[in-house]
């Protein structure tokens, strides 16, 4: 994900291009396909329209790192956002560094 600029505390995110067709069997393990459900767009929507900000949880980050992608076998990295109000829950995702398939943590 590429981030640039800032408007009223919100970050502008420019999603990476997605492949036209997924070359992986991505139906198992709760994985979402980057071709039909790009995580970059979900994250950008929350950052740009809802002004969510990046966050970090060491336990969730470890779970993501210790998980293997069921689509390609790659390691997953960690992305998390928190809403601007402290009363709402954060969202965290594990995303494959190789094929960009992702799962909600």
The CA distance from 72 to 15, in Å, is 21
Of 6, 30, 17, 46, which Cα lies nearest the Cα of 101? 30
Q: Alpha-carbon torsion 65, 68, 69, 75, what sign?
A: positive
Compute CA 51 distance to the chain's CA centroid, rounded to the nearest angstrom: 16
Print pLDDT tens along the chain (105 aa): 444 454 556 666 666 555 567 888 776 678 899 988 999 999 999 999 889 999 999 999 999 999 889 888 999 999 999 998 877 788 999 999 999 999 999
Order of strands across the sheet that contains 76-82: 53-54, 76-82, 91-96, 102-104
3-state secondary structure of 82: strand
Q: Where are the domains of the chain?
A: 2-104
88: which residues sit within 8 A by CB, 6+ positions away?
A: 82
Strand partners, 92: 80
């Amino acid at each position: 994900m590429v981030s640039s600029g800032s408007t009223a505390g919100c970050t502008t995110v420019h999603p990476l291009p997605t492949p036209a067709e997924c070359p992986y069997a991505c139906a198992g393990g709760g994985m979402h396909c980057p071709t039909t459900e790009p995580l970059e767009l979900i994250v950008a929507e929350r950052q740009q329209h809802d002004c969510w900000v990046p966050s970090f949880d060491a336990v969730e980050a470890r779970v993501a790192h210790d998980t293997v992608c069921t689509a390609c076998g790659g390691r997953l990295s960690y992305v998390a956002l928190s809403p601007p109000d402290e009363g709402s829950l954060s969202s965290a995702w594990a995303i494959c560094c190789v094929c960009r398939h992702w799962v909600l943590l």
